[in-house]
Structure formats: C-alpha cells, structure tokens
Amino acid sequence: MIRAWVTHLRSSGKIAFAVLRDGTGICQSVFVKSQVPAEVWARFAELTTETSVEITGEARAEPRAPGGVEVGVTDLTVIGPSPSDYPIQPKEHGIDFLLDNRHFWLRSARQRAIAVIRNEVEQGIHDYFYERGFLRVDTPILTAAIGERSGLFATEYFEEGNAYLAQTGQLYGEAAAAAFGKIYTFGPTFRAEKSKTRRHLTEFWMIEPEVAWNDSNDNMRLQEDFVSYLVQRVLERRTTELAELERDVEKLRNIVPPFPRLNYTDAVALVQRKGSDTKWGDDLGAEDEALIVADYDKPVFVFNYPKEAKAFYMKENPDDPRTVLCDDLLAPEGYGEIIGGSQREDDYDKLVARLAEEGLQRDAYEWYLDLRRYGTFTHAGFGLGLERTVAWICGIQHVREVIAFPRLMHRLTP
Amino acid sequence: MIRAWVTHLRSSGKIAFAVLRDGTGICQSVFVKSQVPAEVWARFAELTTETSVEITGEARAEPRAPGGVEVGVTDLTVIGPSPSDYPIQPKEHGIDFLLDNRHFWLRSARQRAIAVIRNEVEQGIHDYFYERGFLRVDTPILTAAIGERSGLFATEYFEEGNAYLAQTGQLYGEAAAAAFGKIYTFGPTFRAEKSKTRRHLTEFWMIEPEVAWNDSNDNMRLQEDFVSYLVQRVLERRTTELAELERDVEKLRNIVPPFPRLNYTDAVALVQRKGSDTKWGDDLGAEDEALIVADYDKPVFVFNYPKEAKAFYMKENPDDPRTVLCDDLLAPEGYGEIIGGSQREDDYDKLVARLAEEGLQRDAYEWYLDLRRYGTFTHAGFGLGLERTVAWICGIQHVREVIAFPRLMHRLTP
C-alpha cells in the first residue's frame, strides 16, 4: 500500500500507468483493465497531476520502470483530487511564476534533489564539528547596535529602542570561544540590501566557527578541510541527486586539501595582468574573483587584504600593518566567495583605535572589548554562506533555488 | 604545552597551583619553587583569575587533582593579563549582574555543562531525523502576515510593507511535507510578548517536524519516541555534565515510551478534583499543568482540546467536533509544556471556515489553502521548544540559562 501523489499518467486503453511520488522517490503503478475491478479502472480515469491517492497492489522488480520497481495495482482510492488547473505544468515557466508557486515547485524532482543535497550538507556540517569537539552555540538574531553597520533590518524592542536582525553571530562566537574553546554557529542572517544578483538573498544561513588559539594559517587549514569534507560527503552519499541535477561530478572529486593560496598583492597583480583596473587598496569585486578562479580547478584563498577593505575586528598583519590577517575563499566555476575568515584583533588598544577609525559607537562594544581586557587570546574564525556553498555543489546558478522559501528584495511570499 | 585561562590559584610559598581551563575541561598545574627558574616563579605571582597563559611541563596522573591529571610546570608565559577587577568572583551574584556579564558567566563550569548538554540535544535532534529519512527544511524568518496573530516583531521590508519575524515555521513545513514526505525545521522563533515567567524568552529555538500521512496518534508516537531518544542520549553521553549540574538522573532514566495520555475532558475533571476552577472549554494554564503532571513521573500527553482554545489549522475531531485532534506534551517535575502538536485540518472548506471564524485575512493564506486544493493529505506535526526541553533535562529552573545570550523583555544585550 502506497500513499502518494500522481506525477505522470498514461493509458493505452487496456493498460494504464500512474507514476507516483511520496517525497522519498517515485514509483510506477500499473493498472491492467482486465485484472482490476471496473470501478478501479473508472477511478484511474479521474486521476490528474498531484491527485493524492492510496494504491494497493504487488511490488515487483521492473528494470524499465523509473526506480526499478513497479506496483501491479489491485485497488485505488482517491484521497485528494487535484483540479486540472494545477499551476505547474510540463512546460517552461518564468522564474517569477515558479517563485510565486514555490510551494508547488518544491514538488519537482529537481527541487527535491537540491533539498536533499542541502540536507546532506547541513548534516555534514553538524557531524564535522560534533566529531571534532566543537560546541554549537546559538547566537542571537535580535541584537543591539553591533556588527556590520549598513543594510540592517530594524524592529522595535519593547522599551529598549530598536533591535537589529543579526548580520553575523561572530562577535558572540568570539565570546563563546573564550568560554568553550572551539565553537560554531549555524543560523539565519539578514541583509537589508538592494542587491539583485544571483548570489544574494536578504535572509540566508551562515555557519561561523570560531577557535581559540587558532591563527590565520590554522584558520585556512580548517576551512579547506571542512569544505573538502562537505563536498566529498555529498559525492559519496548523494549520487542519485547529483545525477538528477546533471552535475559534473569530476569537478567535485578534485576538491581536496590543500587549496591554492594567493596573497592579496599577488591577486591584484594577477587581475591587472588580465586587464582589470583594480588598484592595490581596493576590495576585489565579482569580476576580479572570476579572473582569479579561472586559473584553478579548486577553491582559492586570497589572503591578507588591505585594512580599509575589511572589517574592524580583523587582526593587523605584523609583517605589513597596511593589511590584516584575513582570507576570502573563492569557489571554482565562478561561484564566487563562499567563505570570509580572519584572525581577530586581540590587542585591546588597536581594537579601540579601529573602532574609532570606523566611527563605531564604542559603548555598544564594551562587552566585546572585555574579551581583550581580561585574558586576551589568539583566535580566528570564518563564516561560510550555506546557500552559495550548496549552489556550487549542486551546480545551480542562482541561490534562490537552494533555499525552500527564498527572500529577495521584491519577494516576501509565499 | 597548554594554552588556557587561570580559574583558581593557591600557593604555600614553596609549591603553588594554578587550575586552568581551556574550554574542554580543567587541568591543575603545579609550580615547585626549587625546580622552576626564578623568573617563572615570579611570573606565577602575577597570575590572576582569567589570565590567559601558555604553560609547558610534564603531564602525569594525579588522582587528587581535578580531572585526574596534573602538569608539573617547567615554563610559564603570560599571554593576556586579567585585571583584578574581573567581574565574576567566587561569591553570589544577582541574576541581572550575571546576565550583564553573560560573556564572562559562560566561562563557569556550570554554564559550560549546560552548553555541552544543549549541544548534545541539538546533535541528537539532527541525528534522530537524519537517520530516519527526514529532510531538514529551513523555513523563513521574515514572513508576510501569516501564522499566529499577536506578539509579532515587525520590520520594514523594502517596498513590500512590513515583514514579521516568524513565530513558527509550521505552515511552510506543511508545504514541504507535501513535497518531501517527512521534514523538520530547526530555527529561531520570536514572540514580542511581555512575559516575564521562567519559561519565556522573546527569541527561542523550535524544532518542528511535519509528516505526510501521519495522524494524531502517529504524531504522539513520534513525539514520545523522539523525546525519549534525546533524554537517553544525554544520559549516555553527558554523565559528567549532568553530575556538574547535580541533576537527579534517576528521574531521567524513566523517560521511555509510552507516555501516559489523558484526553482534555479527563484532564479538566482531574484538575477540578484537585481544586482548580478551570471549566470545560478553557485552555489549561501553568497551574493546571502542574496539577496534572504531579501524578506522573513521565511526560504526559493531554490531547484533543476544545477548538476555541487552539489554533485554526488543527483538524476537527470527527468523533467530537467541539474538539480538535491535537496534543500538548507536559514535562515532568513542573517544567510545563515542551511540545504542542496536532493533526492538520486537511479539508479545504473547513479550513476556510476556520480562517473566517478567527478573523484572519484569507488572501495571505491562499498558498496554504492550495495544499488542500490540490491533492490534500492527512498530515501531522509538532513543535518542540528547545530551551524548555534542555532546561528540563538539565534540571535548570529558568530558560534564560540554557541559551548563550538570552533575549528577554528587558534584555537585548550583551
């Protein structure tokens, strides 16, 4: 007995097929007119796409059937009819239409494959850190005025004034690393930015490990080991879904440590040689990133950016104080930055000076400064963008497809 | 070599001890004046609570030392001094002071034990569902006007009007269950309620499984199996931390299926016999819940509440249409409701009528109604409150201690 939804129907007049999906896979059911009661044959004729049914019959191996099994039907009950205007039809739909009907679009084989791979990546993240003794710490979404400054969603918080939706859990993660040694966060983060690129959502999930006593080099080693683990795990466990997405898995097999490392100065020279007019001191844009990764078949680290291009909390590079000890990890195949990481400034005076330079209100950061006042410590961490990582592994062009109900500048529903 | 923070110091003049913590545990280090260089002995005298240090020496078994190991020191480097006004001292502090200094308070052995158990519960949740073929689905935090109605945090969303922070991912979870069969959500949820009880946070984490083809009875079976798994896993793997919290573990050993089930009508009769003036039709308050669980040493299901006491999406009970097919799971020892669950109304017309009765704007629910329009299906799910569950397992009175940086009506920092 199977309870499922109808995805595909065909009939020759004497024999009829209904392909069913139950969320875990698909199964073909076969109705033979001469072998089923007349009312069952009549009920088959009522079936439409996405009708929910209960089917009774005998399962048997059938190499020609999708999934290798079919069910010879003896009984059929219609549970929920589905009017013939079911929005998603076997034709090309525009992206706005598909997103308006996201609750139905998720039922397609391709969207299911993406969801299964996302789930595998998420479980992989938890297993990776659990097995290595990291504590997961759930940092707050509602925060007072801290973190990055622009693009904040604000909400009134009782008599406390405005609260802002977190853009990062990092500062809290640093406090937790002082308490627990190795930690990671896993939660939604928010950007109220008017970006309409294929890499931006207003709400996306970030994973932010923070490790006491790690320096910038340890940090990059952790990143390459972690990312490689995730890719190899999906390759091992989600072959069917990668095939459904027609992903070129050879490109993924290659993702093993070490990843190439390019310091910022060399990266600028490289993109200049390729015609970019980026100058030393500028941040690297998406076009520069594409020029860099074109030379590699693995993710590439670009490390030690100029101070002014990066956030206040990154540690000054003792060998070149114009720069900070940080890295961006650029995915291959043009998927762009999937990680930003850094060793954190652990010198109290330098951090106070950086806050002032950035025009940030020091009083909001007193508890963060406390971590440098009392037993300061070398530490480093990074943020991995979940949707960008899953999009890359899936080979999907736009991050809007790798989260169940994407939030974009012009999209708040369904 | 150990890099860690000093938690405790004592010296006899010839031999001195520094107890160190590194986030994974504690370790005693021993300085013998006659055996270390004079400058190392002098540096010991500079040490204060929460100074960060690098210590070199020889580890050896020492049954009298905390953790059973001590390090005979040969060298000591002070990395980060800690002024003598370190806020947390070995004395009683008020709760407001501790919460103001949450970034330091987390460093205590008791807070670490809670964080470790929370981490174990979270990993247990992911493992439980992963091993049983559920897909994790990350439902949106920023939502248009849906879900429960009062106590919403609002934020301006570009030109789309207000967005509201999700109080539940359930409605999205139902759409995902139609696509993937068995799903669960795991994320923060928000209540802008002026509650100041020991069971309320404005931001807390919820786990919401939703299963296609489960009825209310299947739903309760899943709940008791799931909760029992989590408790038994913590008992097996986190003995040390439960001991640190002085948890009575005998009370936890008992948490195995089945859990007692009491229908609402019987529950009202029970609390009335015990002196409550609750009448049939009322929701059960915290005092009634306490009267009910007093008779049991396991979590107790109270099921099939009156329709008016519960949310619009719960399925009408065919055997008594005054009631709905739902359950609350009440934790023992007075920890209150940790789960609310229900079979969902799958009849389109009844759901439309319930929306109207509740005065909810139907147009915001069109996509949700679509799930009943096209191939409706029996389904059920529940929401488990993470902090309440962890508080119960830890034996902690107030949920504010079981999340790293709690958000309360009057608390938005640190």
Across the interface, of A22, A103, A212, the residue whose CB is closest to B367 is A103
For residue A281, give how far its alpha carbon lies from the nearest alpha carbon of chain B (Å): 32
- β-pairing, A300-303 vs B15-21, is unpaired
Chain A CB contacts of B405 below 8 Å: 139-140, 172
Report d(CA B74, CA A264) in Å as an integer.
41
Kindly report, residue by residue over B241-286, the tens digit of the pLDDT.
999 999 999 999 999 999 999 999 999 999 999 999 999 999 999 9
Tally helices (H) and strands (E) across chain B.
13, 16
- Residue B146 is predicted with a pLDDT of 64
The answer to whether the CB atoms of B123 and A112 lie below 8 A apart is no
Across the interface, of B135, B187, B411, the residue whose CB is closest to A116 is B135
**Residue A79 in contact with residue A52, Cβ under 8 Å?**
yes
Task: Locate B72 and state its tokens.
Answer: 């005979």
Three-state SS annotation for chain A: CEEEEEEEEEECCCEEEEEEECCCCEEEEEEECCCCCHHHHHHHHHCCCCCEEEEEEEEEECCCCHHHEEEEEEEEEEEECCCCCCCCCCCCCCHHHHHHCHHHHCCCHHHHHHHHHHHHHHHHHHHHHHHCCCEECCCCCEECCCCCCCCCCEEECHHHCEEEECCCCHHHHHHHHHHHCEEEEEEEEECCCCCCCCCCCCEEEEEEEEEECCCHHHHHHHHHHHHHHHHHHHHHHCHHHHHHCCCCHHHHHCCCCCCCEEEHHHHHHHHHHCCCCCCECECCCHHHHHHHHCCCCCCEEEECCEHHHCCCCECECCCCCCEECEEEEEECCCCEEEEEEEEECCCHHHHHHHHHHCCCCHHHHHHHHHHHHCCCCCEEEEEEEHHHHHHHHHCCCCHHHCCCCCCECCECCC
Report d(CA A170, CA A371) in Å as an integer.
13
Task: Locate A29 and state its tokens.
Answer: 């059911």
- Residue A298 is predicted with a pLDDT of 97
**Radius of gyration over every alpha carbon of chain B, rounded to an integer in angstroms:** 26
Report d(CA B141, CA B193) in Å as an integer.
17
SS3 B58: strand
Exposure class string for B27-41: b at 16+ Cβ within 10 A, else e: bbbbbeeeebeeebb
Across the interface, of B180, B187, B367, the residue whose CB is closest to A414 is B367
Chain B CB contacts of A122 below 8 Å: 126, 136
Across the interface, of A142, A373, A374, the residue whose CB is closest to B203 is A142
Nearest to B184 by CA among B132, B117, B118, B149: B132
- Report residue B188's pLDDT band, with 50, 70 and 90 as the boundaries: very high
Across the interface, of B3, B368, B411, the residue whose CB is closest to A213 is B3
Distances (CA, A) of B205 to B234, B361, B385, B396, B399: 19, 27, 6, 17, 11
Average pLDDT, chain B: 96
**Residue A344 in contact with residue A379, Cβ under 8 Å?**
yes
Chain B CB contacts of A175 below 8 Å: 103, 106, 414
Note if the pTM is more than 0.90.
Answer: yes
Q: Is A296 exposed, middle or buried (0-12, 13-18, 19+ CB in 10 A)?
A: middle
What are the structural domains of chain B? 2-80 (2.40.50.140), 104-401 (3.30.930.10)
- β-pairing, A203-212 vs A182-190, is antiparallel
- Helix (H) / strand (E) containing B219: helix B216-237
Three-state SS annotation for A26-91: EEEEEEECCCCCHHHHHHHHHCCCCCEEEEEEEEEECCCCHHHEEEEEEEEEEEECCCCCCCCCCC
Per-residue pLDDT tens digits of chain A, which is 414 residues long: 999 999 999 999 999 999 999 998 899 999 999 999 999 999 999 999 999 999 999 999 999 988 888 999 999 999 999 999 999 998 999 999 999 999 999 999 999 999 999 999 999 999 999 999 999 999 999 999 765 568 999 999 999 999 999 999 999 999 999 999 999 999 999 999 998 889 999 999 999 999 999 999 999 999 999 999 999 999 999 999 999 999 999 999 999 999 999 999 999 999 999 999 999 999 999 999 999 999 999 999 999 999 999 999 999 999 999 999 999 999 999 999 999 999 999 999 999 999 999 999 898 899 999 999 999 999 999 999 999 999 999 999 999 999 999 999 999 999
Interface test with A, best of B98, B108, B135, B146 (most A CBs within 10 A): B135
- Chain A nearest-CA residue for B111: A179
For residue B23, give how far its alpha carbon lies from the nearest alpha carbon of chain A (Å): 4
- Report residue B317's pLDDT band, with 50, 70 and 90 as the boundaries: very high
**Residue A41 in contact with residue A33, Cβ under 8 Å?**
yes
Nearest to A343 by CA among A167, A237, A222: A222
**Residue B186 in contact with residue B126, Cβ under 8 Å?**
yes
| Sign of the torsion angle spanned by Cα atoms B97, A161, B189, A186 | negative
- Residue A146 is predicted with a pLDDT of 64
Chain B CB contacts of A376 below 8 Å: 52, 79-80
Across the interface, of B6, B86, B377, the residue whose CB is closest to A52 is B377
The answer to whether the CB atoms of A83 and B22 lie below 8 A apart is no
At residue A135's C-alpha, the angle toward residues B91 and A114, to 5°, is 150
Task: Locate B98 and state its tokens.
Answer: 């501790």
**Residue A359 in contact with residue A307, Cβ under 8 Å?**
no
Residue recorded with tokens 């240090």:
B53
C-beta neighbour count of B15 within 10 angstroms: 13
**Residue B23 in contact with residue A180, Cβ under 8 Å?**
yes
Kindly report, residue by residue over B323-365, the tens digit of the pLDDT.
999 999 999 999 999 999 999 999 999 999 999 999 988 988 9
| Sign of the torsion angle spanned by Cα atoms A33, A37, A41, A44 | negative
Residue recorded with tokens 């698909």:
A26
- Chain A nearest-CA residue for B153: A155
Chain A CB contacts of B177 below 8 Å: 23
The answer, yes or no, to whether residue B149 has pLDDT greater than 80, is: no
Residue recorded with tokens 């070398």:
A378
Report d(CA A50, CA A23) in Å as an integer.
12
Phi-psi region of B275 (alpha: psi -120 to 50; beta: other; left: phi over 0): left
The answer to whether the CB atoms of A177 and B370 lie below 8 A apart is no
Interface test with A, best of B84, B103, B127, B363 (most A CBs within 10 A): B103
For every residue of B234-293, DSSP letters joined together read HHHH-HHHHHHTT--HHHHHT--SPPPEEEHHHHHHHHHHTT----BTBPP-HHHHHHHH
**Residue B336 in contact with residue B212, Cβ under 8 Å?**
no
Q: What are phi and psi of B138, to 5 degrees?
A: -90, 105
The answer to whether the CB atoms of A80 and B50 lie below 8 A apart is no
Report d(CA B163, CA A411) in Å as an integer.
11
Task: Locate B317 and state its tokens.
Answer: 């009970």
**Residue A11 in contact with residue A30, Cβ under 8 Å?**
no
Kindly report, residue by residue over B78-95, the tens digit of the pLDDT.
999 999 999 999 899 999
Q: Is B337 exposed, middle or buried (0-12, 13-18, 19+ CB in 10 A)?
A: middle
Task: Locate B411 and state its tokens.
Answer: 């608390």
Residue recorded with tokens 């008599």:
A159
- Interface A:B, Cβ pairs < 8 A: 260
Report d(CA B304, CA B219) in Å as an integer.
13
The answer to whether the CB atoms of A412 and B202 lie below 8 A apart is no
- β-pairing, B142-143 vs B162-165, is antiparallel
Residues in chain B: 414
The answer to whether the CB atoms of A153 and B155 lie below 8 A apart is yes
